[in-house]
Amino acid sequence: MKENHEPSDVEDYLTCISESSYLMHNFSDRLNAAIRSKKTPALVGLDPRFDWLPAEIVSAAEAKHSSKADIVAAAFEEFCFRMIDVVAPLVPAVKPQAAFFEEWGPAGCAALQRVIKKAREAGLVVICDAKRGDIGSTAEAYARGYLAGADPESAIWAADCLTVNPYLGSDTLEPFVKVAVERGAGIYVLVRTSNPGAGTFQDRQTDGHTLYECVAAVVNDLALNTTGEGNYGAIGAVVGATYPEELSQLRALMPHAPLLVPGYGSQGAGAGDVAGAFDTEGLGAIINSSRGINFAIRKAPYSEKYAPEEWEQAVEAATHDMIADLAEHTPAGNLQ
């Protein structure tokens, strides 16, 4: 370990980290241990929508609070707490969407903090989906605020991991990588997203390579430099399930980057579409479903099997169905 050295970039910084201390809490090692323990790469997004919440939760919040912001924040918190109680025994990780909480100001942000804390206490890996991105001290402030990593007390938001927008360039990523390595946290960098308009920018070509391929190359280099005991690093990529051929291509281009794959379920992708994200052991990717799990009670077959007040049973059933679907149609079956 070098002394009296101020790192000028990520690579220099990584040489300053004690390898033994880093390997003890490497993000990918912790995530893969959780995936192996639960025998599934299923990830449940926590995306509360006030108009879709169970009536009992809304009524309880209205009985305790008068302002709309406080009512919504309290309802979101109870809903997510109960979601966590249902899914914690079943899946390795959850992904709260920060925007739904931030919309409601201080009350919503405080609820998000408590939801993350609750999930960590339940033994879940927490990926905070906030898509932050900036440079210099501002990016570092985002990183230090969100990324607690191995020790939940290391950051006010206490997340294991954070989604990051790389649009400003490689110096957007450097502060996040530094904090992630320091704390045993991780980041997922937006590479190929699942939204219909993704190609407007991401498909643009320079010197024969698309923008998303250029970002993927940077991500894989960072991942390679942050590997723990396994093959995967602390720096991962968000790659949408709605582009299955490109998902397989990007798995090959980023062999050391763990993948966060949105788009399964409500966005239209099935288990077969995400099969290319995995290695032969069923590792290397975590597959997200948010609305399809959170509000399973709103659609068949769960709406036909359960009464509205049995929404938690619908959540549990939908989670089991997702786990079984991934096990049957992807290499995740090798985890069983």
Give me the catalytic one of 131, 178, 299, 305: 131
- DSSP assigned state of 70: H
Burial 56-70 (b: 16+ CB within 10 A, else e): ebbeebeeebeeeeb
SS3 190: strand
Please say whether the beta carbons of 80 and 128 come within 8 A.
no
Torsion of CA 94, 99, 100, 101, to 10 degrees: 90
- Show Cβ contacts of residue 235 under 8 Å, excluding neighbours closer than 6 positions: 173, 177, 180, 186, 187, 189, 219, 222, 223, 226, 257
- Show Cβ contacts of residue 1 under 8 Å, excluding neighbours closer than 6 positions: 16, 17, 18
CA-nearest of 157, 165, 164 to 183 is 157
- Strand 209-210 versus strand 205-206 pairing type: antiparallel
Q: Furthest-apart CA pair in the chain: how many Å? A: 65
Catalytic: 299? no
How far is the C-alpha of 49 from the C-alpha of 159, rounded, in Å?
A: 21
- Show Cβ contacts of residue 211 under 8 Å, excluding neighbours closer than 6 positions: 201, 202, 203, 204, 205
Residue located via tokens 């918190």? 77
How far is the C-alpha of 182 from the C-alpha of 128, rounded, in Å?
A: 18
Please say whether the beta carbons of 261 and 285 come within 8 A.
yes
Please say whether the beta carbons of 65 and 71 come within 8 A.
yes
- Show Cβ contacts of residue 59 under 8 Å, excluding neighbours closer than 6 positions: none
The residues that are catalytic are 131
